[in-house]
Each structure stands twice: as structure tokens, then as C-alpha cells.
Amino acid sequence: MEFPYRPKKYALNAPPPIPPRPPRPEDNINRPPPLPPRIPQNNSQNIAPPLEAPYPPPPPYQGEATPQQGVHYPAPYHAAQRPQPWPRTQSTPLHDTPQARSTPSVSRPWFPPPPSQAPFSENSYRDTSSPGGHSNHQGSVPPPPYSRPPSSQQRSSPTTKCHQEDMSSAPTGFNTARSSYPDHEQKDQTRSDAGVLRRSMQYDPPAKFILKRCPSTNYNLMCSGTWYILPEAPEFRICTYCYETHIQGSSLQTSFHPWISPAGASIYCLFSSPRIEHHLWPRALQSGSVQELLWFFRHRATIRNCDGTKGVGGSENVKWYSPKDTSRLPSFIACQACYEDVITGTALYSQFEEHQEKQLQGQIWACDIAIDFIRRLLTNTQSWPQFSTEAARHLGLPECEKNGAVMSGSSRQWYELRDRALGIAVCERCYRNFASKTDFESHFQPLRQPPREQQCILGFWQARVLWDEALERKDFSLWRRTIIEHVQAPPCSSQAKPGAQMYQLNHGVDNFDVCQSCYIGFLKPHGLDKWYGTEDCRICLACYEEVVRGSEIARQLPPTPEIIPGESHCDLYSPRMRRKWAEACAKRDLASFLAFAAYRRTIYEQTVPEMRNLVAMAQFNLNMQKMYNTSSSFYYNMNGMTASTYNPYISYGAPGIPHRFETPWGVEGAQLGQRAQGYAQGISADTARVAQLQAAWNLVE
């Protein structure tokens, strides 16, 4: 007899349940005594020691972890010394338990793990990428791959020097969001109201660095790195960016020698000044001699650098210059450094002379050439009346009220985007400093009817930093789409509001929080999309600094990195590829290395995408198996609890179920158990295929 559902008591054509049989004395005859309670045993001594592997563990599955099905990864060696993170609302009851160690999936490029150190079993999948022990899952599911990032999220910051064998174990990114509302890709985490003692940290400058642009005198680099000098003028240093952009590959390359700066030294570069770039260096290339450069290097090294718009006191004895015609610019002055770097060599050089007035001890004078608009205007203008008129107008404009301060719309001229997106506007002062006489000038137009109150978007520091990045890439859409997203986010505040979305590092510093505004405006758009190498072998900035730069065949590669849109990954991260590079350097044979890199990329395309799909399907099968196992256990328990209320002379079954049950609940539990077993068989098949593809990838990896 089969019942698809539980019959109601005393329903039509349903006999009433027979009451349970009363107990009889003979039931207790020959019945063994009850067993004592089970004492939990500590099996920590029987657990095999964890296997060491040079790759980080993949992220656990995003779901509820159970002792039988959870993926357990050992904590890092320094976890005991770190302070406890902010409590997570979903995992607070599981704090300090193995189940609570699960973290949400992170988004970064995935690379297959190295070969396992233990034999493969069809009943358990060995996590070959975990540095700790292996976990046996209920369905023997292989570890999930890292998902592709929705945004430009790639390897760790290239400004930090990592050991060659640990490059793949140092991923950092800002794509783990913490929010007070649920999200399918993010776990909830909220701050506790109680004060948390933050660990005092000491900043250690990286041992090596890379430069996306010349630091000029705006930044003093404190870390150790490679600079280039003329041996006759060692005080004048040239950064690697200027060397690779202008000097490398030229006829005067042999005149410059590398110099390693000590850690902690304050170094700056002066080669990017307009006088050197536009006049002295082209004349040196034309004449084939560095004598004129050498004279200027020695002379410039004795002059104090420009102190910018903040000014300098009279005690520094700075030499000042001013226009000969002071009718339109009565208070215009320039320091000696800007006079040598910018004014000398321009068409208006003869219009300046040494300033006659002496600076007193208590006075602070600021250089006007340090203003970006004035500097660009001076280098691009051939007429003195035009320069003096524009400079006087700019210096008379009111200063921008920065950091989102509200200004009167009628107090100044405003500029808006040509598409008038979200009412984004820029004050005239910031428009001249940033957009005027640049490639982005055509994207703005005057605002005809400004509102009563208006904010300047370039008053936010995130917009100013991103502006320089977009201007270097010549990509205005990068700045526009980021600013549109930035104005819709809550403003930055030092005090986190309840429910505000925050971001933190995936691995690294605890309690390092970034608000949504700073993440959108500063961290998110600065993707690592510049690559060295060729189409067959792409090398990230960090690996280029650690492995390629200064090697025997480095000159055979393109000297400057290129921007590659879309997603990509580095081919020089693994120890084997670095050994191949060392062998190619020893043989002076770059072609063999590029051929192997192309073959390796072909194997990657044939194996890794399919492994990702199989692992994703195995993850789905595991989740379905867990659901059906839980439901089956629930119905089995219902069968045991309600069996006494059913007729003991009637049993229930279904086709394909070998056993009979006292209630329909038992039949339902058996059917769900069979479904769970079917999903488990699918997991085993996927695991075998992943192991086969993994072996093929390991041959080249």
C-alpha cells in the first residue's frame, strides 16, 4: 500500500489508528542493560601532520559549514598574535570553532594548485593548494576555483617585495565587502559598540618599487630602489621611469650608470622638468655629448627644490625672480628652482629678472610657477601679453572650498560635463588647474544657470587623484564613470555609521576599514592593467622588478609596460617559470622561453576553464546533496516519532524503495536519501575528471 501523503485521522475510508500495545512483563526478560554515555575522545594525536605547499588555500564554499561537510583550513601562523576581528553577525555563535573559519569567496584570478603530495583517491579529493592538511568532504567535492573579478582585481600590490617562491601566496585585494544587509556575494559584518584595542603598527618601506610616472619633486621616495646617474654628477638622480622612457635605447645610454639607493634615503627625480625634456636632452641626443647636461646637473644639484604653494620662510635664503613688467602681475614671483627648470628655455625667458625686494625673516613667500595652470600656460604660450592676462585672471579667482563644502553658485563661474550627468560641476579655479589646456578640456562646458548652492567635484581628493590617473591613460570615461558612482555613495567620514558598507583586506591587516566612497573613488579604478612582455608571455609589474629587470635578456623585451584591457594573469609567478627564465638568461635565448610560455598558455586554455566549470558543478551537486540529506534525516525522524500513531499491521513503501516503513514519512525520507546518493555519484565523476585535467596542467606548471 502506498500513500503519497499522510492520511488524516478518521478520514473517509481511513481506519482509525490502533492504540499502542501495553507493556508486558516478559518484554524486559533478557534485555541488556543500557550502555553508558559515550566519552568524547581526543583524536588530535592521530591526525597526520599538514603537508606544506607553496600555494595558498582556495576559499571555502560560501555556505553554512558543518562538521561533516565544512572545508577546514588551518589558520596562518601569525593568527594567534593578531587581535580578534570585528564580530560577524552570521558567524558569532560559531566563534573559535572550525566551522567559523569559513570565509566568503574572494574574487581574484585563479591558478591551478601544484600537484598533490598524496595519492589520489576516488572517495576523497586532496586539496593540493592548501598549505595545511586535507579535508574529507561528504561528497568528495574538489576545491572551488577563484572566481573572475567583476572589477579589475588582480594580484597583490607590486610595491612590496616578496620572496620568489611566495609570490603566489601574497594576494591582496579590496573586494570583500562588509555590510549590515545581506548580499549573495558578501557576508554580513557589523562593528561592535565596544571599544577595540587596535594594534600599533610600524610601516616598513618596501625594498623594491616600481614607478608609473616620474615622482619629480612632488614625492620623496624613502625605499631602496634603482636610480641612474652620470658618474661625474652623482647628486643628480634619474628615476627608472624617466630612464626607460627617454634614455634606454638611445645613443647616450652607456653614459648613465645604475645606482641603488639605500632604504630610508629621501630621493627625488628632476629629469622630467620641461627644460631637460624639451631642450637639454634633445640637444644632447643631436650632438651626441652629455657635457651640457653634466653642467646643468651639477648646477641644479646645488639649488633648493621648490616648496610649492605652501611657501617658504625668509630664513632659507631662497633666490626669487619676478617679471620685468609688473603692471599686470605686481606680486608674481618664482623661486630659483622653477626659474631653472621651467622658465629658462621657454619663449618668455627674457621677460623675467631677479626680484629686487628682499624677503624678510618672518615673511613666507610662495612660488606662483608651482600652480599647475600657470606652469602649463608658461610652457605653451608664446606671447607675454596673453600670459600676463591669463595669469592675472587665474590668480584673482576665489579658492575652491574643498572636501564637499557648499559654495554660492553666483560667486564664480562653473563648468559642467557636456552630457550634464547628475549635475556634476567644477568651479573655475579647479577647471583651470586640472582641465584647461589638457586633453580633457573639450569634455566640459560653461554652466549657464548655476544653482543657488553648488559643490565642486574636484574639491574631493578622490576625484583629484583619479584625474591624474585618467589623464595619463587618456581615458576620460574612467574618470566620468567613477565620479558618477562616487557621488551616489555616502560621503567619507572618520566615524562609520551603523549599516554603512565597508571594505577590508582579504588577507593582511585586521581592522583596516575603507568606506564605500574611498573604495569607489580611489581603490577600485586603480587596477593593475599594465603588463610587460609580449602576447605569449605577460609579466606583471612586481615580477618584472624582481626577476626581469637587470637580467641578461631583459633588453629584448619592450622597455615600457602596456595597458591591456580586460582580465589577464602573470606568466612569471610560478617557481618553474622563474627557473625557465633563469635558464633562458644563462643561454641568452629568449625565443625558447617565449615558446614554452606560449605552449603553457595553450595547455592553460585547454584545462583550467573546464576545471572551473567542473568545480562549479561539483559545488552545486554538493549543496544539493546536503539539502537532500538534511531533508531525509528530518523525514526519518518524523517516521520514528509518529510510528506509534499508525496501524502496526500496515506498512508503507514505494517503487525503488527496498524497505517498508511504518509511516509515509519514512518513504519520503528514503526517496530523498536516494536523490542525495545520486548527487554524490555526480561529485565523484567530476572529481575524477578534475584530477585528470589537473595532472595535464601540472606537466607545464
Confidence band for 686, pLDDT divided at 50, 70 and 90: confident
| Average pLDDT in the chain | 72
Is 346 or 507 the better-scoring residue by pLDDT?
346
Which residues make beta-bridge pairs with 312?
365
Region 362-366: what's the mean pLDDT?
89
Q: Backbone phi, then psi, for 174, in 5-degree steps?
A: -115, 50
HEC string of 97-126 equals CHHHHCCCCCECCCCCCCCCCCCCECCECC
Residue 352: pLDDT band (50, 70, 90) is very high
Res. 662: pLDDT tops 60:
yes
Higher pLDDT, 490 or 17: 490
Non-local CB neighbours of 196 within 8 Å, separated by 6+ positions: 83, 86, 511
Mean pLDDT of 383-410: 86
Mean pLDDT of 281-309: 91
3-state SS, residue 152: coil
| pLDDT, position 22 | 52
Mean pLDDT is lowest, of 29-38, 92-101, 249-258, 311-320, for 92-101
Identify the pLDDT of residue 285: 93
Identity of the amino acid at 599: Y
> Is the distance from CB of 404 to CB of 491 less than 8 angstroms?
yes
Distance (Å, rounded) from C-alpha 501 to C-alpha 503? 7
Q: Which of 198-212, 520-534, 575-589, 668-682 comes out lowest in average pLDDT?
A: 198-212
Task: Return the percentage of the chain with pLDDT > 90, whole number.
Answer: 13
Domain assignments of the chain as residue spans, ordered by start: 225-302, 312-451, 605-699
Tens digit of each residue's pLDDT (9 = 90 or more) over 602-622 = 888 888 888 888 888 888 888
CB-count exposure of residue 212 (10 Å: 0-12, 13-18, 19+): middle
Amino acid at 468: D
- Supply the DSSP string of 540-582, one letter for each residue: -HHHIIIIITTSTTGGGS-SS-EE--S----SS-SHHHHHHHH
pLDDT of 73 above 60: no
Q: What's the gap between Cα 51 and its chain centre?
A: 29
Q: Which of 5, 67, 64 is nearest to 627 (CA)?
A: 64
**What's the grid cell of residue 129?**
593548494
- What's the pLDDT tens digit per position in 209-244? 566 678 787 666 767 778 899 999 999 999 888 998
Question: In the prediction, which pLDDT does 291 show?
Answer: 92
- Check pLDDT > 90 for residue 119: no
Q: Specify the pLDDT at position 64.
A: 36
- In this prediction, residue 613 carries a pLDDT of 87
Q: What value does the mean pLDDT take over residues 359-387?
A: 89
157 neighbors 541 (Cβ within 8 angstroms): no
Average confidence (pLDDT) over 678-695: 81
pLDDT of residue 282: 93
Residue 332: band (very low, low, confident or very high) from pLDDT cuts 50, 70, 90 = very high
User: How much is the pLDDT for 24?
Assistant: 54
pLDDT at 441: 87
Kindly tell me if the per-residue pLDDT of 253 is higher than 80.
Answer: yes
Span 137-190, pLDDT tens digits: 344 444 444 333 343 333 333 333 333 333 333 333 333 333 333 343 333 333
Cα 288 to Cα 440: distance, rounded to the nearest angstrom = 37
Which pLDDT tens digit goes with each residue over 452-464?
888 888 888 888 8
Q: How confident is the model at residue 41 (pLDDT cuts 50, 70, 90)?
A: very low
